[in-house]
């Protein structure tokens, strides 16, 4: 068998090579070959179109399996993927990391995070400086930041002049300086089927009133902003504004119909005001130090009123031409294609402001090449292409073929990508040979197994004695549940046991001996060691369940775990969990349920044990410790709180109230330590872990540094397109011998059939001739 492996080829080149290979194989135009040709001509031509189509792909320089258009071969593009189609791209509505990864490249809130510095540091984004904050008492007198009489906080923002929005039809003007695209009816806009049909575009300068307009949009109940309720507690006049908007909209709809656009500029919000072209203020009730982090969220990105009006024109929403799908911003990229069913494309915003790659980083950043592009104008890419990839295998294969520049690691591919040894976790030899680099980070979040404190068996209810017993039961379970083993088995070691809700990298996290949970671990030989099972059994006995049975009734202790993963306990993970409880002779009943019902159970407090997780909004301990704050209890708050355990400890609550108003300081650290000690003692969480994120980068990708909070990082990325082109060509040479093997097998199968067919045709004719002859003879004889 001749093996034919051809690389890049052109049409003419291919046919020439093919004939040469046939000649090499000694297949001249012999009689045998003629027969083959005859057979294939008769029976195979219909099927050969597929081979023809395959060979047509050889008409270009591009590898045959390249999923990207040939025109992009040498373009400065980053190829990435998304697995979940974004639901909302409106910065007032979007609240998911799947959506932030797109819109955070487009929208520019006032603040941003430094890309390279750790711990995470806020820097001005569109501002000239970090906002100036002034505090005042109830009478309006200015007071110090640490005063106890703070009644109001006033944030003053000064914008950089000259920032311009991306080109967009909403800014297009006619000769009279009026909006080019204004439609009185749906019929007028009917010719515009997609956003691309609006051929004229314009731009304008970013103004302070655009930020004010967006904050008003956040307050508009129609926008369904997830942060409206939270911000209404702080921004002065926001609640009243929401009411005002509802009434104004109702009146407008009665007058002009449901699609009418409500100009929010006509309504004012007491706490938000544009004082000039470039400066505006936000006034808050009291002191809210975490507000600065919200200012780095896309919720506070500017929306020009022209854009809001443009998308509210009659007929456009019926064709999905809405702000929720077609964002408009002043950021480094603009969305030029949004087909969430297939591809989302971001292109460099030609109007992007003067923004440069940072020249300072952390120790080691320069050695890692992270400062090589220091001082260069951002963004470094011309385009970012995100393709929908719902299945893990194609995604991984395309990364390995060089068609995606970056990739996460699915469990199936972990062994291929990562080698775990006594030296730690590193890349496998295959990855190292390809020049792939590994980007590791601790995700700012926690997954946990927790108790519902309202439950009569495991919760914090009843008299002091029963509460103490339940506490010991929870502590016993916390010791028996080997979280490290779970991470090793089910997460390929990608995570670390959570001693508290606060993950590494956040102020309040403590490593080493002082950071361990002393109710579950001992510090032995310089590392934490889980307490013995005997200790857990002792606590269980003290809790009233010696040997896992009720001390009076003798009935086995049965606990119910609610999990949103579904299934009934048959999965390996669930079996493992049952085994953990079995160590204490506790029977665990796993109640798998769909996510909706699970959330309903959480909302009503109808659970005993449950598994859930939390990903941080911002890098502050408050954003983790409020998971146990009493007022945030799901049941108390009617489902809107984040404290699913419904834990309500007076001392913890008091310390939380104190801590959340403080800036990071040794005093704040001490309070956090006390809070953690309280929840550790009460064993609110049976166990928890902070996952690690592993991302692989092909060797042509530069300037990649994991950032746990910010998604606005693509502007720093760079790719070496020539290296990528070479690698793609080398890694994807088409292997052609299977085509010939298949064709050969088909011919071999057809050949005997064809001969048999010919014989059969021949035999019939012969038979008929014989029959005719014998008939003639008989006639003659007769």
Question: Residue ranges of the alpha helices (H) in 381-421?
Answer: 392-400, 411-417
Q: Contacting another protein (CB under 8 A), which of 35, 65, 488, 510?
A: 65
Q: How far is the CB of 36 from another protein (least distance, A)?
A: 18
Tell me: does residue 216 bind another protein (CB under 8 A).
Answer: no
Cα radius of gyration rounded to whole Å, the chain: 34
Stretch that binds another protein, among 248-256, 293-301, 337-345, 676-684 (CB under 8 A): 337-345
Q: How far is the CB of 615 from another protein (least distance, A)?
A: 9
Q: Contacting another protein (CB under 8 A), which of 35, 76, 96, 560?
A: 96
| Count of residues engaged in binding another protein, rule: CB under 8 A | 72
Nearest residue (CB) to another protein, 228 versus 474:
228
Tell me: does residue 191 bind another protein (CB under 8 A).
Answer: no
Nearest residue (CB) to another protein, 96 versus 428:
96
Q: How far is the CB of 308 from another protein (least distance, A)?
A: 16
Q: How far is the CB of 523 from another protein (least distance, A)?
A: 36
Residues in the chain: 782
Nearest residue (CB) to another protein, 265 versus 390:
390
Q: Do 99 and 87 contact (CB within 8 A), yes or no?
A: yes
Give the closest residue to 715 by CA, choosing from 385, 383, 378, 386.
378
Under rule CB under 8 A, which residues in 634-693 are in contact with another protein? 638-640, 642
Three-class SS state of 780: helix
CA 667 to chain centre: 36
Question: Residue ranges of the alpha helices (H) in 629-719?
Answer: 650-659, 666-682
Tell me: does residue 512 bind another protein (CB under 8 A).
Answer: no
SS3 content of the chain, % helix, strand, coil (to 5): 40, 20, 45
Distance CA 751, CA 44 (A): 11
Site track 601-640 with another protein (rule: CB under 8 A), x = hit: ----------------x--------------------xxx
Q: How far is the CB of 452 from another protein (least distance, A)?
A: 17
Q: How far is the CB of 192 from another protein (least distance, A)?
A: 13
Q: What is the 3-state secondary structure (H, E, C) of 305-365?
A: HHHHHHHCCCCCHHHCCCCCCCCCCCCCEEEEEEECCCEEEEEECCCCCCCECCCCCCCCC
Q: Do 369 and 699 contact (CB within 8 A), yes or no?
A: no
Tell me: does residue 63 bind another protein (CB under 8 A).
Answer: yes
Q: Classify burial at 503, counting beta carbons within 10 Å of its beta carbon; exposed 0-12, middle 13-18, buried 19 or more.
A: buried
Count the neighbouring beta carbons within 10 Å of the beta carbon of residue 699: 15
Q: How far is the CB of 343 from another protein (least distance, A)?
A: 8
Nearest residue (CB) to another protein, 18 versus 669:
18
Under rule CB under 8 A, which residues in 541-600 are in contact with another protein? 594-597, 599-600
Tell me: does residue 339 bind another protein (CB under 8 A).
Answer: yes
Q: How far is the CB of 213 from another protein (least distance, A)?
A: 21
Q: How far is the CB of 622 from another protein (least distance, A)?
A: 15
Residue 393 corresponds to which tokens in the numbers above?
A: 């295998």
Q: Classify burial at 697, counting beta carbons within 10 Å of its beta carbon; exposed 0-12, middle 13-18, buried 19 or more.
A: buried
Give the closest residue to 329 by CA, choosing from 299, 349, 309, 344.
349
Q: How far is the CB of 621 from another protein (least distance, A)?
A: 18
Stretch that binds another protein, among 297-305, 656-664, 704-712, 761-769 (CB under 8 A): 761-769
Distance CA 116, CA 169 (A): 36
Nearest residue (CB) to another protein, 60 versus 377:
60
The torsion angles phi and psi of 298, rounded to 5 degrees, stand at -70, -10
Q: Classify burial at 459, counting beta carbons within 10 Å of its beta carbon; exposed 0-12, middle 13-18, buried 19 or more.
A: buried
Tell me: does residue 227 bind another protein (CB under 8 A).
Answer: yes
Under rule CB under 8 A, which residues in 257-276 are in contact with another protein? none
CA 257 to chain centre: 38
Nearest residue (CB) to another protein, 181 versus 598:
598
Tell me: does residue 744 bind another protein (CB under 8 A).
Answer: no
Stretch that binds another protein, among 66-74, 423-431, 668-676, 696-704 (CB under 8 A): 66-74
Q: Contacting another protein (CB under 8 A), which of 33, 760, 770, 774?
A: 760
Stretch that binds another protein, among 53-61, 279-287, 549-557, 658-666 (CB under 8 A): 53-61
Count the neighbouring beta carbons within 10 Å of the beta carbon of residue 608: 20
Tell me: does residue 101 bind another protein (CB under 8 A).
Answer: no
Q: Contacting another protein (CB under 8 A), which of 16, 41, 162, 221?
A: 221
Element (H, E) at 386: strand 383-388
Tell me: does residue 345 bind another protein (CB under 8 A).
Answer: no
Stretch that binds another protein, among 144-152, 352-360, 421-429, 759-767 (CB under 8 A): 759-767
Q: How far is the CB of 211 from another protein (least distance, A)?
A: 21
Tell me: does residue 66 bind another protein (CB under 8 A).
Answer: yes
Tell me: does residue 285 bind another protein (CB under 8 A).
Answer: no
Nearest residue (CB) to another protein, 104 versus 324:
324
Distance CA 447, CA 486 (A): 12
Spell out the residues 6+ positions from residue 202 whose beta carbon is closer than 8 angstroms to its own: 167, 168, 169, 170, 171, 172, 173, 180
Distance CA 321, CA 312 (A): 9
Q: How far is the CB of 253 from another protein (least distance, A)?
A: 13
Element (H, E) at 473: helix 464-480
Distances (CA, A) of 475 to 484, 575, 682: 17, 22, 8
Nearest residue (CB) to another protein, 388 versus 541:
388
Q: Contacting another protein (CB under 8 A), which of 196, 318, 360, 513?
A: 318
Q: Is 367 left (phi over 0), alpha (psi -120 to 50) or beta?
A: alpha
Under rule CB under 8 A, which residues in 11-30 are in contact with another protein? none
Tell me: does residue 734 bind another protein (CB under 8 A).
Answer: yes
- Sign of the four-CA dihedral 338, 168, 259, 211: positive
Tell me: does residue 773 bind another protein (CB under 8 A).
Answer: no
Q: Contacting another protein (CB under 8 A), which of 187, 735, 770, 773?
A: 735
Nearest residue (CB) to another protein, 63 versus 543:
63
CA 176 to chain centre: 45
The bridge status of strand 424-427 relative to strand 418-421 is antiparallel
Nearest residue (CB) to another protein, 366 versus 746:
746
Stretch that binds another protein, among 84-92, 160-168, 545-553, 712-720 (CB under 8 A): 84-92
Under rule CB under 8 A, which residues in 349-408 are in contact with another protein? 387-391, 393-394, 397-398, 401
Tell me: does residue 222 bind another protein (CB under 8 A).
Answer: yes
Stretch that binds another protein, among 45-53, 141-149, 307-315, 518-526 (CB under 8 A): 45-53
Q: How far is the CB of 320 from another protein (least distance, A)?
A: 5
Tell me: does residue 56 bind another protein (CB under 8 A).
Answer: yes
Distance CA 641, CA 304 (A): 33
Tell me: does residue 69 bind another protein (CB under 8 A).
Answer: yes
Q: How far is the CB of 731 from another protein (least distance, A)?
A: 8
Distance CA 731, CA 742 (A): 24
Q: Classify burial at 317, counting beta carbons within 10 Å of its beta carbon; exposed 0-12, middle 13-18, buried 19 or more.
A: middle
Tell me: does residue 770 bind another protein (CB under 8 A).
Answer: no
Q: How far is the CB of 739 from another protein (least distance, A)?
A: 8
């Amino acid at each position: 068998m001749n093996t034919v492996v051809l690389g890049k080829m052109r049409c003419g080149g291919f046919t020439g090579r093919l004939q040469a290979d046939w000649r090499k194989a000694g297949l001249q135009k012999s009689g045998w070959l003629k027969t083959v040709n005859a057979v294939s001509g008769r029976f195979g031509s219909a099927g050969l179109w597929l081979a023809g189509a395959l060979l047509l792909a050889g008409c270009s320089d591009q590898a045959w399996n390249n999923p990207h258009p040939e025109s992009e071969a040498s373009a400065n593009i980053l190829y990435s993927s998304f697995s979940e189609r974004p639901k909302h791209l409106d910065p007032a509505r979007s609240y998911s990391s799947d959506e932030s990864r797109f819109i955070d490249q487009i929208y520019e809130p006032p603040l941003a995070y430094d890309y390279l510095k750790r711990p995470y540091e806020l820097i001005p984004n569109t501002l000239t400086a970090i906002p100036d904050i002034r505090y005042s008492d109830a009478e309006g007198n200015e007071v110090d930041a640490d005063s106890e009489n703070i009644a109001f906080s006033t944030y003053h923002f000064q914008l950089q002049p000259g920032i311009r929005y991306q080109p967009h039809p909403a800014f297009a003007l006619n000769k009279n300086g009026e909006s080019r695209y204004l439609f009185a009816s749906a019929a007028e806009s009917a010719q515009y089927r997609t956003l691309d049909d609006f051929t004229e575009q314009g731009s304008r300068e970013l103004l302070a009133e655009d930020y004010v307009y967006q904050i008003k949009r956040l307050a508009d109940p129609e926008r369904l902003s997830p942060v409206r309720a939270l911000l209404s507690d702080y921004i002065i006049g926001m609640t009243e504004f929401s009411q005002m908007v509802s009434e104004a909209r109702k009146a407008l709809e009665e007058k002009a119909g449901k699609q009418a656009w409500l100009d929010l500029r006509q309504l004012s919000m007491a706490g938000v005001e544009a004082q000039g072209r470039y400066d505006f203020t936000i006034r808050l009730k009291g002191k809210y130090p975490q507000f600065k982090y919200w200012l780095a969220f896309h919720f506070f990105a500017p929306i020009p009123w022209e854009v809001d009006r443009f998308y509210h024109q009659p007929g456009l929403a019926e064709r999905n031409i809405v702000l929720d799908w077609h964002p408009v911003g002043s950021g480094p990229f603009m969305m030029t294609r949004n087909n969430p069913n297939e591809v989302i494309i971001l292109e460099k915003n030609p109007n992007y402001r003067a923004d440069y790659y940072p020249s300072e980083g952390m120790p080691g950043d320069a050695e890692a090449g992270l400062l090589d592009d220091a001082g260069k104008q951002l963004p470094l890419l011309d385009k970012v292409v995100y393709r929908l990839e719902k299945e893990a295998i194609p995604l991984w294969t395309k990364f390995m073929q060089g068609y995606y520049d970056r990739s996460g690691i699915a469990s199936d591919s972990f062994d291929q990508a990562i080698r775990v040894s006594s030296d730690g976790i590193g890349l496998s030899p295959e990855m190292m040979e390809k020049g792939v680099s590994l980007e590791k980070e601790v995700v700012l979040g926690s997954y946990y197994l927790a108790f519902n404190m309202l439950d009569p068996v495991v919760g914090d209810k009843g008299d002091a004695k029963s509460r103490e017993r339940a506490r010991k039961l929870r502590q016993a379970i916390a010791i028996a549940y080997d979280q490290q083993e779970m991470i090793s088995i089910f997460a390929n070691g990608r995570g670390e046991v959570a001693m508290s809700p606060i993950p590494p990298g956040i102020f309040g996290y403590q490593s080493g001996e002082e950071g361990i949970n002393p109710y579950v671990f001992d510090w032995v030989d310089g590392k934490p060691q889980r307490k013995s099972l005997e200790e857990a059994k002792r606590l269980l006995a003290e809790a009233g369940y010696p040997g896992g049975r009720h001390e009076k009734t003798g009935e086995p202790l049965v606990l119910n775990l609610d999990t949103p993963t579904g299934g009934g306990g048959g999965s390996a993970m669930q079996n493992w969990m049952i085994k953990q409880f079995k160590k204490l002779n506790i029977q665990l009943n796993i109640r798998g349920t769909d996510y909706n019902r699970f959330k309903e159970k959480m909302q009503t407090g109808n659970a005993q044990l449950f598994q859930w997780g939390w990903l941080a909004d911002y890098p502050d301990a408050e954003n983790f410790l409020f998971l146990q704050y009493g007022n945030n209890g799901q049941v108390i708050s009617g489902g809107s709180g984040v404290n699913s355990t419904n834990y309500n400890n007076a001392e913890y609550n008091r310390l939380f109230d104190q801590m959340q108003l403080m800036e990071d300081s040794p005093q704040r650290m001490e309070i956090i330590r006390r809070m953690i000690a309280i929840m550790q003692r009460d064993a609110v969480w049976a166990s928890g872990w902070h996952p690690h994120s592993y991302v692989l980068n092909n060797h042509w990708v530069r300037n990649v540094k994991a950032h746990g909070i910010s998604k606005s990082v693509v502007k720093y990325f760079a790719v070496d397109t020539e290296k990528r082109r070479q690698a793609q060509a080398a890694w994807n040479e088409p292997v052609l011998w299977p085509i010939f093997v298949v064709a050969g097998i088909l011919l071999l199968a057809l050949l005997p059939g064809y001969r048999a067919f010919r014989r059969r045709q021949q035999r019939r004719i012969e038979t008929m001739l014989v029959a005719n002859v014998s008939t003639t003879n008989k006639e003659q004889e007769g």
